[in-house]
Each structure stands twice: as C-alpha cells, then as structure tokens.
Amino acid sequence: MKFIFFFAFVVILCACNRDEYVTSKVKLSRVADGCASVSAAMRSISNIGGERFEFQKCLPDDEKQRRVIAERKGDTVVVRFDTKGATAPLATFDVILDIDSYPAYRFITIDDNTFPMTREDY
C-alpha cells in the first residue's frame, strides 16, 4: 500500500515539472497592394489554448521573404517579422497570430510595439 502512495506521489511530482516553451502559428491573408491602408488596430482573443492576435501588417509580397520569430524574454513574448533583405514589393496583410506559452506571459512585443496582457488571474 505504501508503494502505491509513493508511486502516485512521484508521478504527480514529475507531471508538475514542465519546461518553458513558446509556440506560434501565423496565418496571413493579402488585403491590398502597398501599405497605405494598414490599420493600427489590434484585436486579442484569449482562450484555453493560448492567445490569438489579429492585426494588419505591411510585409513583402513574396512568402519566401517573410519569417516570423517568436521567443520568450522574461515575462514578455517577443514576436518579430524578419524581412531583412526582402526585395519583393510590399503589401498589406491581415495577420492572425496564435501564441501558446508556458509559463504565462504579462507582455507581448510585436516588432517594436509592446502590449500588456490583462488577465484576471494576475
């Protein structure tokens, strides 16, 4: 009987030891040529699977020249749209960015803009 309790305790203890991670998924939809119509609005939706951010971004029109990098720095998730060396003409895109991270983060930085995450559990 003691063995069962000890085994259950070890399993529970091991299950609580999680490593930090950040995963991101990006969906882009081309809206228009050029960047004159880019909206500055951003929408955030939180659910059990993470957060979803919807916004517009001016990016190269060639998908091979676009890269999204998401990393964690302290209590901030930093997302960068890496377009260095892009030669394609720019276009306006609707961006849907899904972020899942452990542990929870308090801020998100998208390129040079930092936004606080407001949650009831903080």
Rounded to whole angstroms, the Cα distance separating 19 from 32 reads 41
Rounded to whole angstroms, the Cα distance separating 102 from 23 reads 9
pTM higher than 0.85 for the full model? no
Cis peptide before 103 (omega within 30 of 0): yes
Tell me whether residue 29 is in a domain.
yes
What is the structure's pLDDT at 78? Answer: 95
Rounded to whole angstroms, the Cα distance separating 15 from 83 reads 40
What is the structure's pLDDT at 122? Answer: 43
Tell me whether residue 11 is in a domain.
no
Tell me whether residue 13 is in a domain.
no
Domain that includes residue 36, residue range: 20-116
Close Cβ partners of 3 (under 8 Å, ≥ 6 residues apart): none
Tell me whether residue 71 is in a domain.
yes
Tell me whether residue 41 is in a domain.
yes
Tell me whether residue 10 is in a domain.
no
What is the structure's pLDDT at 19? Answer: 81
Count of domains observed in the chain: 1
Rounded to whole angstroms, the Cα distance separating 31 from 14 reads 47
Tell me whether residue 9 is in a domain.
no
pLDDT tens, per residue, the chain with 122 residues: 777 877 767 767 666 667 888 999 999 999 999 999 899 999 999 888 789 999 999 999 887 767 889 999 999 999 998 888 788 899 999 999 999 988 888 999 998 899 998 765 44
If one counts every other C-beta atom within 10 angstroms of the C-beta of residue 82, the result is 12
Tell me whether residue 12 is in a domain.
no
